[in-house]
């Protein structure tokens, strides 16, 4: 990258901020994702993966460098600029839902990008509307590889990551995060395109989400208004057992996507219905990418309260504004500390202390002592796997910090 000028900010995620960058010589415009060098572990990981990829359905890599700006040393990742913003923003611009013909097109694009990734042994691990960008031609491109993993890396070595509402059951349990987890997340993203909200809108917070997704028999609700083909497509992605889900390549042959080519491609520029589905709605103000998250929402008082609220399903809805955050956690640490707590306040205290001391808490006994949920089998379930406690801790502490 030669000399360039940093322009306006266009997004902020959990680990980095994104701005426009203009190449001084050519005038070309890029997006630059920057993080303090000392905190750029995920960004550097993203760079290593992104620079090896070349696929129209994946945001293009340009370059990377280190700069000093206003006394701070920054690691910068330059990539193709996607002027259409995120898929989530597109959904909002179109009134909170997009038409099935357009859902079909974007789903196909996302699956083509994932097919490319999976064929190279990469799992994205954080597919959601906010991580799908819309290019200059209106096509979807997968972005944000900060959570991605290579197939030889397992949960025990690098931990699990992602956004709770989009997590597959095996991910929520801390067991595995393979290609099937991306398939589940594609279905969640399709639900986002249909409803304008992530799946599980009734859940209160990430911990409740992880519990419900990982340890009940439920699957996200499939909106009744959708076509039978789309319902079937979602049903084949949202199997709780990852082995029963269709692969990305099988999904690309599903009638929802295949039949549509003849049914819904425009036969001429006069095929108004098709083009209507792409009609630009009145421009609404773009929500800032981080506006929702958990920044301003205080967590309910106690873990037991949260768990109880999940089980009685009369929980108030999370608004769109209180969106989901991406969670990233480190790998396993064999020397976990087992703590016992008899109350939720003790539980939270232990979590906070462990953050300060940078130690790991083995939360299985804590969870069961507080929640009293008998069906949780400590041995093979909640938090008993090394690394999972760190993940739960990450969820809670991240919510707190923001
Ligand atoms: N290439 C790009 N073109 C246009 N906008 C972009 C681009 N890359 C990122 N953005 C914007 O910046 C936001 C944050 O980017 P990104 O999701 O990569 O950051 P992150 O820190 O990894 O976020 P997350 O919290 O999801 O992990 C995106 O939601 C999007 O609005």
Mean residue pLDDT across the chain: 73
Label residue 180 exposed, middle or buried (CB < 10 Å: 0-12, 13-18, 19+): buried
Q: Which of 32-41, 115-124, 298-307, 350-359 has the lowest mean pLDDT?
A: 298-307
33 is in an annotated binding site: yes
Q: Which of 75-89, 99-113, 114-128, 193-207 has the lowest mean pLDDT?
A: 193-207
Question: How many C-beta atoms surround the C-beta of residue 117 within 10 A?
Answer: 24
Question: For 154-189, what is each residue's pLDDT tens digit?
Answer: 655 566 778 889 999 998 888 888 999 999 999 999
Query: With 50 as the cut, is the pLDDT of residue 92 above it?
Result: yes
Contacts by 257-261 with C-beta closer than 8 Å and gap 24+? 257/104, 257/107, 257/108, 257/111, 257/233, 259/229, 260/101, 260/104
Q: Are 86 and 49 in contact (CB under 8 A)?
A: no
Question: If you measure from the C-alpha of residue 12 to the centroid of ligand 1, how many angstroms do you get, rounded to a whole number?
Answer: 6
- Respond yes or no: is residue 23 known to be catalytic: no
Q: Are 376 and 367 in contact (CB under 8 A)?
A: yes
Task: In whole angstroms, give the CA distance from residue 366 to residue 142.
Answer: 38
Out of 281-285, 291-295, 369-373, 379-383, the most confident range is 369-373
Question: For 108-119, what is each residue's pLDDT tens digit?
Answer: 999 999 999 999
Question: If you measure from the C-alpha of residue 353 to the centroid of ligand 1, how many angstroms do you get, rounded to a whole number?
Answer: 32
Residue nearest to atom 12 of ligand 1 (CA): 11
Predicted pLDDT of residue 386: 33
Task: In whole angstroms, give the CA distance from residue 133 to residue 59.
Answer: 8
Nearest CA to 362 among 331, 393, 396, 398? 393
Ligand 1 pocket test: pick from 7, 18, 136, 395 the residue with the most ligand atoms within 8 Å of its Cβ: 18
Percent of the chain residues topping a pLDDT of 70? 62
Task: In whole angstroms, give the CA distance from residue 14 to residue 243.
Answer: 31
> Is 189 in a helix, a strand, or coil?
helix
Closest ligand 1 atom to 43 CA: 22
Question: If you measure from the C-alpha of residue 382 to the centroid of ligand 1, how many angstroms do you get, rounded to a whole number?
Answer: 31
Percent of the chain residues topping a pLDDT of 90? 51
Average pLDDT over residues 257-280: 44
Q: Give φ, ψ of 4 to 5 degrees.
A: -145, 165
Distance of CA 205 to the CA centre of its chain: 15
Query: With 80 as the cut, is the pLDDT of residue 374 above it?
Result: no
Q: Return the exposure string of 275-285: e unless at least 16 CB atoms fall within 10 Å of the residue's CB, then b.
A: eebeeeeeeee
Ligand 1 pocket test: pick from 33, 59, 127, 399 the residue with the most ligand atoms within 8 Å of its Cβ: 33
Query: With 60 as the cut, is the pLDDT of residue 399 above it?
Result: no
Q: Is the ipTM of this complex over 0.90?
A: yes
Nearest CA to 206 among 321, 322, 348? 322
The ligand 1 site (C-beta within 6 Å) comprises 10-11, 13-16, 18, 31, 33, 59, 79-82, 85-86, 130-131, 133, 143-144, 146, 289, 326
Query: With 50 as the cut, is the pLDDT of residue 14 above it?
Result: yes
For the whole model, what pTM was predicted? Answer: 0.72
Structural element, H or E, at residue 72: strand 72-80
Task: Name 149's bridge partners.
Answer: 123
Nearest CA to 162 among 14, 332, 348? 14
């Amino acid at each position: 990258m030669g000399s360039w000028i940093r322009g306006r900010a266009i997004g902020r995620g959990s680990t980095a901020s994104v701005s426009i960058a203009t190449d001084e010589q050519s005038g070309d415009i890029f997006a630059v994702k920057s993080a303090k060098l000392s905190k750029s572990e995920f960004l550097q990981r993203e760079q290593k993966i992104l620079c090896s990829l070349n696929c129209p359905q994946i945001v293009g890599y340009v370059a990377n460098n280190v700069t000093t700006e206003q006394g701070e040393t920054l690691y910068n990742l330059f990539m193709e600029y996607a002027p259409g913003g995120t898929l989530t923003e597109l959904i909002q611009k179109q009134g909170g839902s997009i038409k099935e013909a357009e859902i079909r097109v974007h789903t196909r694009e996302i699956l083509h990008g994932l097919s490319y990734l999976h064929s190279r042994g990469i799992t994205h691990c954080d597919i959601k509307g906010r991580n799908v960008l819309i290019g200059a031609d209106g096509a979807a491109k997968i972005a944000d590889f900060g959570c991605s993993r290579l197939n030889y890396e397992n949960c025990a070595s690098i931990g699990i990551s992602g956004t709770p509402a989009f997590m597959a059951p095996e991910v929520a349990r801390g067991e595995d995060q393979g290609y099937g987890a991306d398939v589940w997340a594609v279905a969640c993203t399709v639900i986002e395109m249909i409803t304008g909200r992530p799946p599980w809108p009734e859940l209160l917070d990430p911990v409740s989400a992880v519990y419900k997704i990982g340890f009940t028999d439920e699957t996200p609700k499939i909106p009744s208004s959708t076509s039978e083909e789309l319902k079937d497509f979602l049903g084949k992605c949202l199997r709780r057992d990852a082995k029963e889900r269709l692969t990305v390549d099988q999904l690309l042959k599903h009638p929802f996507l295949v039949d549509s080519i003849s049914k819904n491609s425009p036969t001429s520029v006069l095929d108004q219905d098709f083009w209507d589905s792409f009609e630009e709605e009145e421009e609404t103000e773009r929500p800032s990418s981080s506006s929702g998250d958990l920044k301003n929402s205080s967590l309910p008082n106690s873990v037991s309260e949260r768990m109880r609220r999940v089980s009685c399903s009369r929980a108030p809805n999370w608004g769109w504004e209180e969106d989901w955050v991406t969670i990233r956690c480190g790998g396993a640490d064999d020397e976990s500390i087992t703590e016992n707590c008899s109350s939720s306040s003790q539980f939270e205290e232990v979590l906070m202390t462990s953050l300060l001391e940078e130690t790991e808490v083995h939360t299985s006994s804590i969870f069961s002592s507080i929640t009293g949920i008998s069906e949780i089998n400590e041995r093979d379930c909640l938090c008993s796997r090394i690394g999972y406690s760190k993940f739960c801790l990450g969820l809670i502490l991240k919510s707190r910090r923001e």
